[in-house]
A and B are shown apart, each in its own frame.
Chain A
């Protein structure tokens, strides 16, 4: 158990819909990273938050948005969903220092029908 909690584990929805993925970081961790992993692909960095503030953006689509709340949990919102958005979405947390390992949650598997 990494200490990072992601909900839900699975999500099945239709094209055009909107979903929210939730992540609770390890106790004491201030940084939250979001990644998208399509089938047999690498980890695509989406966005990074540190203590409530956005710090870095990767290849995140405009249809996607995220935030980190005062209690440090984070949500990733995906809207106008397309078939190509089907993927495993991981959240990872670290203590905020980029010189430390990231701890990954078990991911949310999103399936668009």
Chain B
């Protein structure tokens, strides 16, 4: 069945450095790719999303890129801050289906 692989599972960066998290999906028909941030003990919250007709989207320090040919998409966080420390989940969905496939999560730790 469809799946989404997410790497790395853990990531430590120094404050001010950049962080990159990558996801690879299996269903070539997937066309919507959201990213969620989950702080400890809290609910996942949408931070950015991208649709298949766009190659890149940026929102302040956060950007997402999509490579449909390779079937992967990545989250880029620049100028990381301690409050960026959290678990990040990617997901992939396909129009007309009810499937919402989440990656396994990346625990990001920003070291002050």
Are A98 and B104 within 8 A (Cβ)? no
Contact B96 A104 (CB under 8 A): no
> Contact between A99 and B51 (Cβ–Cβ < 8 Å)?
yes
Q: Which segment of A11-19, A42-50, A69-77 sits at the interface?
A: A42-50
B31, B45, B98 interface centre (most CB from chain A within 10 Å): B98
Cα–Cα, bound, A56→B97 (Å) = 9
| CB within 8 Å of A: which B17-40 residues | 31-32, 34, 36
The reply to whether A90 and B97 contact each other, CB–CB distance below 8 Å, is no
Say yes or no: is B99 at the interface (Cβ < 8 Å to chain A). Answer: yes
Which residues on the A side are within 8 Å of B93 (C-beta)? 98-99
Interface residues on A, range: 20 to 34
- The answer to whether B43 and A104 have CB atoms under 8 Å apart is yes
> Count of B residues near A, CB < 8 Å?
25
Contact of A56 with B43 in the complex, beta carbons under 8 Å: no
Give chain A residues whose Cβ lies under 8 Å from the Cβ of B34.
Answer: 101-102
Q: Are B32 and A90 in contact (CB under 8 A)?
A: no
| A25 contacts B by Cβ under 8 Å | no
- Does A65 make an interface contact (CB < 8 A)? no
A43 to B99, CA, bound (A): 14
User: Across chains A and B, which 10 residue pairs bring their CB atoms closest together, nearest first?
Assistant: A104-B43, A55-B98, A98-B93, A99-B32, A101-B46, A42-B104, A42-B105, A56-B98, A99-B95, A43-B102
On B, residues with C-beta under 8 Å from A are 31-32, 34, 36, 41-46, 49, 51, 89, 93-100, 102-105
